[in-house]
Structures are given as structure tokens and as C-alpha cells.
């Protein structure tokens, strides 16, 4: 893990430290146990399903990206968390692509869309990175 963090310095170092204490590597395997996150499951995930899942799921045009939804919010959370930066929510890959920045899927959300605010607020509530 130390090697990985060093190799992927930059915003990646935030990712390995994200998530409530104890989720990552608690058992030494590096596997993240599913986390209870009602805001993600009830508010954010339905937006992603409604607005992204057609393409970002198996068989969709975005199936070969790091962002593939399975329909299981709890299982997908860890993957979505890797696409966001709590210290700079608007700079999250998830929101940049959703607003059309460098995205073959085009602009799905505008920054004044209530769904954008819901996602942004969830991201900013995630634990902040504490890089060394």
C-alpha cells in the first residue's frame, strides 16, 4: 500500500485513505468491505442509475470505462468513490464527465441541476484525504 500510494501520488493518494475508518484493509487483504451509506444509496445512486446507467453498465457504450454500474448500490459505492475528490468535489472525474467535460456521453447534467447538487453534496461529505 505504501508503494502504491507513492507510485500514484497526486489525487490518487486521497483515494486510498477515503472511506470511514476501518473499511480498507482492515483484514489486511486490501479489500473494501461494503459500507452503509444511506445518502449514497437513497439519493445519489438513483440519479446515477437514471442518468448514467444506460451507457455505464454491461452492454452499454461506457462499459469499458472504470465507471460501470451493476444495479447494486452497496457494491458499486467503492467504485464510484474512486472517481471523486472530497477536497474538490467539482473537480471529481464523475462530475466533470457528467457535465460533458471530455465525455463521449456528452453533457448529462448542468451545474445548476438539482441532481448535480445532490451528488456534489454527497462528495463533499466524504472523509477528506489526509496525504502525508
Site of interaction with ligand HEC (CB under 6 A): 51-52, 54-56, 61-62, 65-67, 83, 93-94, 97-98, 103-105, 108-109
Residue closer to ligand HEC by CB (options 32, 103) is: 103
Could you tell me the three cell numbers for 113? 441541476
Residue closer to ligand HEC by CB (options 46, 127) is: 46
If we measure between CA atoms, which residue out of 21, 30, 14, 17 comes closest to residue 93?
14
Q: Report in angstroms how near the CB of residue 74 gets to ligand HEC at its nearest.
A: 18
What's the burial of 94, exposed, middle or buried (CB within 10 Å: 0-12/13-18/19+)? buried
Q: Report in angstroms how near the CB of residue 27 gets to ligand HEC at its nearest.
A: 29
Q: Report in angstroms how near the CB of residue 86 gets to ligand HEC at its nearest.
A: 16
H/E element holding 122? helix 114-124
Amino acid at each position: 500500500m505504501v508503494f502504491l500510494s507513492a507510485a500514484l501520488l497526486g489525487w490518487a493518494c486521497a483515494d486510498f485513505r477515503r472511506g470511514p475508518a476501518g473499511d480498507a484493509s482492515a483484514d489486511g487483504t486490501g479489500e473494501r468491505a461494503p459500507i452503509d451509506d444511506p445518502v449514497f444509496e437513497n439519493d445519489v445512486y438513483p440519479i446515477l442509475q437514471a442518468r448514467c446507467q444506460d451507457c455505464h453498465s454491461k452492454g452499454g457504450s461506457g462499459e469499458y470505462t472504470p465507471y460501470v454500474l451493476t444495479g447494486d448500490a452497496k457494491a458499486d459505492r467503492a467504485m464510484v468513490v474512486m472517481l471523486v475528490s472530497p477536497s474538490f468535489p467539482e473537480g471529481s472525474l464523475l462530475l466533470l464527465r457528467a457535465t460533458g467535460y471530455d465525455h463521449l456521453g456528452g453533457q448529462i447534467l448542468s451545474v445548476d441541476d438539482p441532481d448535480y447538487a445532490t451528488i456534489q453534496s454527497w462528495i463533499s461529505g466524504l472523509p477528506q484525504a489526509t496525504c502525508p
